Amino acid sequence: MTVSFSRLALPLLLALCAGSASAHGNVVCTKAPKSEWKSHEELQKKLVAEGWVIRRMEATNSCYEVYAKDPKGKRVEAFFDPVTFARVEE
């Protein structure tokens, strides 16, 4: 029985893409309850004042996830502690 390369490649490619898309799901920024979180609007104001250009922000289970250009103009996906606004590395 012969299996074509394309029949194997597509599932492998999909598995790799799914793995990389969820790789940052392990980032833990805080264990504080959401009632202690500062608003994402406050984080956005802070980052804009520092020179960031915000494209999108999302709240995960423990972080604020920011898609933006940093003050150096580099396009980044960054995670911030929603209580302290400290940047958390992946």
Nearest to 47 by CA among 65, 60, 29: 65
By the 10 Å C-beta count (0-12 exposed, 13-18 middle, 19+ buried), 56 is classed as: exposed
- Rounded-to-integer distance, Cα 22 and Cα 8, Å: 22
- Residue 68, domain member (yes or no): yes
User: Does 39 or 19 have the greater pLDDT score?
Assistant: 39
- Residue 53, domain member (yes or no): yes
CATH number of the domain encompassing residue 67: 3.10.450
- Residue 10, domain member (yes or no): no
- Rounded-to-integer distance, Cα 69 and Cα 75, Å: 4
- Residue 84, domain member (yes or no): yes
Q: Which residues lie across from 58 on neighbouring strands? A: 65
- Rounded-to-integer distance, Cα 46 and Cα 81, Å: 13
List, for residues 21-79, the tens digit of each pLDDT value: 444 557 899 999 999 999 999 999 999 999 999 999 999 999 999 999 999 999 999 99
- Residue 13, domain member (yes or no): no
